[in-house]
Structure 1
Amino acid sequence: MASLLARLGRTAFRRRRLVLSLWLAVLAAAIACLTAFGSGLDDEFSIPGSESQRALDTMAEEFPAAAGTSAQLVFTAPEGKKVTDAPYAAVVTRTLAEVGRAPQVAAVVDPAAAGTVSADGRTALAQAQYEADRSALRSDALPALEKAADRASEDGLEVTVGGNAYGSGGVSVSAKEAVGAVVALVVLALTFGSLLAAGMPLLSALVGVAVGLCGLLAVTGAVGISSTAVTLALMLGLAVGIDYALFILSRHRSQLADGMDPEESAARANGTSGSAVVFAGLTVVIALAGLAVVRIPFLTVMGLSAAATVLVAVLVAVTLLPALLGFAGTRLAPRPGSRAARRANEAESAPTWGERWVRTATRRPLLTVLATVAALAAVAVPAKDLRLALPDNGSAPSGSSQRQTYDTVSDAFGPGFNGPLLVLAQPSGHDAAAPRGREAAARIAAELKQEPGVAAVSPPRPAKGSADAIIQVVPETGPDDEATKDLVHRLRDRAPELHDRTGAAVSVTGSTAVGVDVSDRLGDSLLPFAAVVVGLCLLLLLLVFRSLVVPVKATFGFLLSVAASFGAVAAVFQWGWLADQLGVARTGPVVSFLPIVLMAVLFGLAMDYEVFLVSSVREEYTRTGRARDAVRLGARHAARVVTAAALIMFAVFASFVSMDDAIVKPIAFALAFGVLIDAFVIRMTFVPAVLALVGDGAWWLPRWLERVLPHVDIEGEKPAPGPAAAGDVPEPEPARG
């Protein structure tokens, strides 16, 4: 691989104008495809084949007015008045008539008919049922509802709108998220001591992100892609794009400082550090594509979307970046006598921060290992309380209309009215006749009223063309409450009994039941997915380093990072620590696919830092044969680049924590925290301490395993065949930053 990448780097350096033109053409083609074929994003969560989805599919045929999404209108009269008073009742009636004429509204549920007027008479809850899912609503559907509510507000009533139709307005990227890129530029400038060098990784990363996102959005007309998937792809594409370019550029500048010709240096940097970039990128891609094993379509699309963006970042790093190096030429070489030049000449430079840190960590390695494990175990303690669910409008920003509606409904009617369950009753056999079917549905409704945890049950609504009926069941607890989840499971467990007694099959569905099914599937898949990730981690590092200690130690460190990240998420988003400072709208369960996404992403990034650091240690051990000195000198080579890469990753992820979205915020926080822990506590502290503690045993491998394992060269350590003029790497060089 080293020889191939070196030839690729040399070709891109020489034909830099052609390479740049090709990438600009690819970007233009992606933009054109986006304009021609792009469609809206799909933020619906579903699991094909689940009970809730099967029932929804049936309802779409027999109850079109109940199968789509719905919106809530909450009318509140002034203090001391009632919505049933004549003037306010007339406003409600006129408003609901106007809502009924709004685009795609299939039915309107009047509060008087549904019995959704509060006990004090001040608040009434109406519902607009749409004929389409949230993702299929026209652009003017919800604005028409809001205009009707505004006119009612002018007549003396306080009116807010919310409900499932407002469940997720999508993720919008603002100028606040650009702070991460600005911080990355500052870190790069401090690392390289040159604005020209600092701008190159950022420029190449932006090109890669633009190509990746435009290509991703271009296929939204054929594939349902959520706004969360786009945001995750943006975060990862920007972070890894900058980091991968940083690794290659750092090697290039070091070689220029040693007097190497720019073309030869670009080729060698692409063959050595570029090989590590390809390995690290493919690791991230494999981990993200592994989300498909969960067998949840929206999560599979999310993983593949992010993986595609990372793959584009790798291609940009090994092709476009060498071309940019060609445009810069010798201007990237550190000025003689500058700090950057002294850093490049390690024989003359003073001990680096990384070397001093590692020297301290390895002075008493056993104490360091025990202290690190104890500290991360303490941080992980809150993870025992981690609860998972799909977010609802209770997690929306405090000032939003859907959050006001959610809170008003909870206060006036109870939290269960924000997430009612839909029970589909389907009589079979001789009971399928209309009279017998209605009788069976009525008996089921009577049984459901007696179920603990049920606040209210609506009269059955029969279908026009069959004896099937829908029964709305309102829980006593909110949609994301554990008691509501238990209620869904109890009702499903009672379905065989109800069938025997009434002759009707019973299915539980609705948005709340869909959320329960998604969380259950994710919970069942977490351990198998973790086993795949851990197994992959052990196998890859065993192949790369041909050691037993290194993969075991790296895997254990990765699990510590994941556990600590889970603990931090639970402490902030459930216990409420720093919740106000981070803008958390409401403490409670976090999005149910966070653990799997965190494990997939953090695995790839952890392997990136592990390979970069430990390969430097192994090079020094091969050269000197002294284990303790190899750890110190290896950290000297790699610490600055690993530190810069981790800080850039942290800055990019942390900038997305400012978003109000209840899905993106905890994921971004978990990734930012996980990167900090993994880079500085695990890779820069725990790993050197373990290597120093084990000594020469860190590089031991049984002979029989040595013979079986194939050789994998990811840093271009082996001499490549053929002359340098052909573009190969002429001499092996210690892997370093």
Structure 2
Amino acid sequence: MLSTLARFCVRRRRFVVFGLWIPLFLVVGALTGAAGGNFRTDFVLPESESREVQELLEAVNPTAAGFSAQIVLKSERALTDTDYRTSIEDLIAEVDTVEGVNVVSPYANPQQIAQSGFIGFARLEITNRSQTDMMKVADVIKGIGDKYRVPGLQIEYGGEAFAKFEMPESEALGLLAAMVILVLAFGSILAMGLPIGTALLGLGLASGVVTLLSHVVSMPDFTTSMVAMVGLGVGIDYALFIVTRYREGLHEGLEVEDAIVDAIDTSGRAVIFAGITVIISLLGLYLMGLSFVRGLATGAAIGVLVMMIASITLLPALLGMVKHRIDTTSRAAVVSLALFIVMSLAAIFTHSLGVFFAGVLASGAVVAVSFLVKPLRRPLAVRTPKARELTFWYRWSRVVQRRPWFSLVASSAVLVLLAVPLFDIRLGFGDTGNQPERTTVRKAYDLLAEGFGPGVNGPLFVTVQGDIAASPDQFNAFLGTLSKAENVAFAVPSPLGRDARVNGEPVALGIVYPKSAPQEEATTELVHTLRESVIPATGVVAKVGGFTAASVDFADYLGGRLPWLIAAVLILSFILLMAVFRSLLVPLKAVIMNLLSIGAAYGLIVAIFQWGWGKDLIGVGKAGPIESWAPMMLFAIVFGLSMDYEVFLLSRIKEEYDRTKDNARAVADGLAATARVITAAALIMVCVFAAFVLGDDRQLKLFGLGMAFAVFIDATIVRMVLVPATMELLGDRNWWIPKWLDRALPKIDVEGHHLTVAEITDSEAVSARSN
């Protein structure tokens, strides 16, 4: 089937490229431009106490279902000074006219002015809406604030509503790094260009589909960045594996069409298997039952699916157009590429589209001039492939195989040591306190902490229904009891709950301000203490909620289900690898090694983001908990990607073992044949993922660094040391499987059939005789 698909794509290459992919890309792009996106972060946690509080708040006041934010004020003299007060009251009055915005003035509620009198805040309740619409409202409010600035008055904007998310420019840096790596690895501009071009076209299509899907599926605002991160990585990798196999076929003497068919029928199978594995791992996140997680998983899965399809349809069509020129690079092409990369870097750091387009024009001019200047058209010398036994990787494999026990113990010890911080992991959510210090939300966060204490940035909402809610004296006495609890700064009634009723029953709402910051472990413990001991001791039936409490519930929920997700993915992966390689020990080793590499990645992000080691080097504002969704998302994607390298390497080793029946030789030959490609692919992924560390968003920094480190560990310590060492120690036992199990397992062929010139010649001879 794959051979037939590949031949169709080669023979109808213009139709595939210009009649299918490009029109589809343009149609989706036009629809996306017309409809836009509707991204929204929906932390809906079913059957949780914080969810019950949220529903009650929505019933009391619809604006409570939306965003909570603040206009934070700091003055050189007291905020009650006439000049300041006039400007602030005018500002608040105009903001209150914005549709869907409710403002509580600091002058209406004295508790919103610090004891010093110099810091205060106006509380904003903004009706629930999409992330895109919220950004527009936030811009309107900030525009109003700019009109009322007076000397000596600082105005900042706090809360997630003003934490404007922007697509990071680091994606472009990762792409430029990938271009350089591919050129250095393969010495050909076209061999670089095809994987990059395929990945970019696939990424554009996938991003458009995800943006359109955001109208019907709840997706957080950074989903498209997640799609870009994962899509670029796997897209370039998948195309790289196929292009490499195609070039090998040409070097062995195959014709263009046969070389493409061979590449799709061998490496293409591994790409499909790896892609499906990643998608299955991602869709396993649906078991979490959370719309926020489903949205992320759906977006990433669409990105992988589109890249996989592009690799086995669009890429063979492009290869059919390029033909033998895949190995040819002119001097003009090298100069043009170098100029493009330099100008693109300048454009990124100067934030200038003009510089970028100037680079494009200059690169095109070099190519145009080459038609007039013959020396520029001269091709560079084509690299002559070394004999496998003379390559560095063959010699490296032999070194590892000569000392397998040392290699196994040393590399395992390094991975275990790196994973040690994992055992101190604390799940939670970052907040505006993790934003860069130059942003208005971080300045507002720090001002509030300065004036009112760190807990004001993460208040807890307490709801009470029934008779006590109808009695202000009893409710205030209840709040007074909560104020005496350990780590509580103070507790006050909320104006939102004044004289409120739900279904005819009185409702009272209180706000509890912790002494500790929202992300601190002490605040998490306070939420549990209030629910489990302090409130029950009063005899009052009350619920604790709000964003901070919801973050605690979210972390507890995901932390409890993460082991089940890991177990499910491991079992499924073990069965799949057992069916592919007809072995018991190979899949068992793969599962253990993948756990070690992912554990090391977890350890790194805990050490940096939670413990704060080296946080300043990557621009993390301050240490805090690990984003609750990150470990499971990281596991699902990295485990699928590591299966990619696993299948690519082991299928080559198995191919050599079936041919020679010499395990030691098969391991060395398999590693030598795949190491350069795996190393290049891993470096590309590391660059693409690590580039997101350069952005401002803490979530993307954490996820990008975790992905980059996991891939690096997997492609180096695991694939280049642990695999050859364990394969050498086990010898022929690597491929043992009970006969009854061999018969019971389905046949899954990811190796395909490698065409040879001799086979094609024999086939042509038979065909000639029959005619």
Q: Which residue of 2 aligns with 1:448?
A: 482
Q: Which residue of 2 aligns with 1:595?
A: 631
Is 1:128–2:124 an aligned residue pair? yes
Secondary structure at 1:161 match in 2:
strand
The whole-number CA distance in structure 1 between the counterparts of 2:267 and 2:323 is 19
Is 1:172–2:167 an aligned residue pair? yes
Secondary structure at 1:227 match in 2:
coil
What displacement does 1:330 show? 2.4
Q: Structure 2 counterpart of 1:445, which letter?
A: L
Is 1:100–2:142 an aligned residue pair? no
Q: CA 1:323/1:489 → structure 2, altered by over 3 Å: closer, same or farther?
A: same
Q: Which residue of 2 aligns with 1:304?
A: 298
What displacement does 1:265 show? 1.2
Match of 1:421 among 460, 474, 486: 460
Structure 1 stretch 232-241 or stretch 56-65: which is displaced more? 56-65
Q: Which residue of 1 aligns with 2:51?
A: 53
- Superposed counterparts of 1:196-207, under 5 Å: 196-207=190-201
Q: Structure 2 counterpart of 1:241, which letter?
A: G
What displacement does 1:483 show? 1.4
Q: Which residue of 1 aligns with 2:509?
A: 470
Match of 1:115 among 106, 111, 119: 111
Q: Which residue of 1 aligns with 2:262?
A: 268
Is 1:251–2:245 an aligned residue pair? yes
Is 1:716–2:758 an aligned residue pair? no
Q: Structure 2 counterpart of 1:698, which letter?
A: N
Q: CA 1:555/1:171 → structure 2, altered by over 3 Å: closer, same or farther?
A: farther
Residue-by-residue CA offset, 1:704-726 (whole Å, 9 max, x unaligned): 22222222211104999xx979x
Q: Is the 8 A contact 2:689 2:707 kept in 1?
A: yes
The whole-number CA distance in structure 2 between the counterparts of 1:594 and 1:435 is 43
Is 1:501–2:539 an aligned residue pair? yes
Secondary structure at 1:42 match in 2:
coil
TM-score by length of 2: 0.87
Instruction: Provide structure 2 residue ranges, at least 5 long, that are not aligned to the other structure.
Output: 330-378, 767-771
Q: CA 1:615/1:140 → structure 2, altered by over 3 Å: closer, same or farther?
A: closer
- Superposed counterparts of 1:189-228, under 5 Å: 189-228=183-222
Secondary structure at 1:580 match in 2:
helix
Is 1:64–2:62 an aligned residue pair? yes
Q: Which residue of 2 aligns with 1:31?
A: 29
Q: CA 1:199/1:463 → structure 2, altered by over 3 Å: closer, same or farther?
A: farther
What displacement does 1:13 show? 0.2
TM-score by length of 1: 0.91
Q: Which residue of 1 aligns with 2:324?
A: 330
Q: Structure 1 counterpart of 2:492, which letter?
A: S
Residue-by-residue CA offset, 1:304-340 (whole Å, 9 max, x unaligned): 11111101111100001110011112222579x9986
The whole-number CA distance in structure 2 between the counterparts of 1:652 and 1:84 is 52
Is 1:684–2:720 an aligned residue pair? yes
Q: Which residue of 1 aligns with 2:527?
A: 488
Is 1:16–2:17 an aligned residue pair? no
Match of 1:608 among 610, 622, 644: 644
Q: Is the 8 A contact 1:149 1:161 kept in 2?
A: no
Secondary structure at 1:73 match in 2:
strand
Q: Is the 8 A contact 1:111 1:124 kept in 2?
A: no
Secondary structure at 1:468 match in 2:
strand
- Superposed counterparts of 1:488-567, under 5 Å: 488-494=527-533, 497=536, 501-502=539-540, 505-567=541-603
The whole-number CA distance in structure 1 between the counterparts of 2:241 and 2:425 is 36
Q: Which runs of 4+ in 1 moved over 6 A?
A: none
What displacement does 1:439 show? 5.2
Secondary structure at 1:70 match in 2:
strand
Q: Which residue of 2 aligns with 1:733?
A: none
Residue-by-residue CA offset, 1:250-309 (whole Å, 9 max, x unaligned): 111111112211011111211111111100110111111111111111111111111111
What displacement does 1:635 show? 0.8
Residue-by-residue CA offset, 1:464-500 (whole Å, 9 max, x unaligned): 44511211111111111111112212222258737x8
Q: Is the 8 A contact 1:565 1:673 kept in 2?
A: yes
The whole-number CA distance in structure 2 between the counterparts of 1:134 and 1:329 is 48
Q: Which residue of 2 aligns with 1:342?
A: 384
Q: Is the 8 A contact 2:273 2:750 kept in 1?
A: yes
Is 1:372–2:411 an aligned residue pair? yes
Residue-by-residue CA offset, 1:543-598 (whole Å, 9 max, x unaligned): 11111111111111111101110111122223333322211121221211111011
Q: Is the 8 A contact 1:27 1:210 kept in 2?
A: yes
What displacement does 1:349 show? 5.6
Q: Is the 8 A contact 1:91 1:155 kept in 2?
A: no
Q: Is the 8 A contact 2:274 2:644 kept in 1?
A: yes
Q: Is the 8 A contact 2:653 2:671 kept in 1?
A: yes
Structure 1 stretch 647-656 or stretch 461-470: which is displaced more? 461-470
The whole-number CA distance in structure 2 between the counterparts of 1:587 and 1:568 is 13
Residue-by-residue CA offset, 1:143-180 (whole Å, 9 max, x unaligned): 333234334432421221112322x4224132x32111
Structure 1 stretch 138-147 or stretch 179-188: which is displaced more? 138-147
Structure 1 stretch 410-419 or stretch 135-144: which is displaced more? 135-144
Q: Is the 8 A contact 1:342 1:349 kept in 2?
A: no
The whole-number CA distance in structure 2 between the counterparts of 1:494 and 1:111 is 36
Structure 1 stretch 102-111 or stretch 383-392: which is displaced more? 102-111
Aligned residues: 707
What displacement does 1:533 show? 1.7
Q: Structure 1 counterpart of 2:384, which letter?
A: R
- Superposed counterparts of 1:307-322, under 5 Å: 307-322=301-316
Secondary structure at 1:472 match in 2:
strand
Secondary structure at 1:221 match in 2:
coil
Secondary structure at 2:109 match in 1:
helix
Q: Is the 8 A contact 2:103 2:122 kept in 1?
A: no
Q: Which residue of 1 aligns with 2:343?
A: none
Q: Structure 1 counterpart of 2:79, which letter?
A: V
Q: CA 1:156/1:715 → structure 2, altered by over 3 Å: closer, same or farther?
A: same
Q: Which residue of 2 aligns with 1:734?
A: none
Q: Structure 2 counterpart of 1:247, which letter?
A: F
The whole-number CA distance in structure 2 between the counterparts of 1:350 and 1:708 is 39
Residue-by-residue CA offset, 1:6-27 (whole Å, 9 max, x unaligned): 1101110000011012111211
What displacement does 1:134 show? 6.6
Q: CA 1:138/1:497 → structure 2, altered by over 3 Å: closer, same or farther?
A: closer
The whole-number CA distance in structure 1 between the counterparts of 2:395 and 2:177 is 25
Secondary structure at 2:128 match in 1:
coil
Is 1:458–2:500 an aligned residue pair? no
Q: Is the 8 A contact 1:193 1:339 kept in 2?
A: no
What displacement does 1:398 show? 1.1
Residue-by-residue CA offset, 1:508-566 (whole Å, 9 max, x unaligned): 22111121111111101111011112112211111111111111111111111011101
Q: Structure 1 counterpart of 2:141, which letter?
A: L
The whole-number CA distance in structure 2 between the counterparts of 1:161 and 1:228 is 21
The whole-number CA distance in structure 2 between the counterparts of 1:712 and 1:59 is 54
Match of 2:729 among 663, 672, 693: 693
What displacement does 1:382 show? 2.1
Q: Structure 2 counterpart of 1:484, which letter?
A: T
Q: CA 1:523/1:291 → structure 2, altered by over 3 Å: closer, same or farther?
A: same
The whole-number CA distance in structure 2 between the counterparts of 1:308 and 1:459 is 47
Identity of aligned residues (%): 37
Secondary structure at 1:584 match in 2:
coil
Q: Is the 8 A contact 2:686 2:712 kept in 1?
A: yes
Residue-by-residue CA offset, 1:105-138 (whole Å, 9 max, x unaligned): 1232425624232232221232122233573745
Match of 1:624 among 637, 646, 660: 660
Instruction: Provide structure 1 residue ranges, at least 5 long, that are not aligned to the other structure.
Output: 731-737
Q: Which residue of 1 aligns with 2:697?
A: 661
Q: Is the 8 A contact 2:397 2:671 kept in 1?
A: yes
Residue-by-residue CA offset, 1:84-122 (whole Å, 9 max, x unaligned): 334333333333223322332123242562423223222
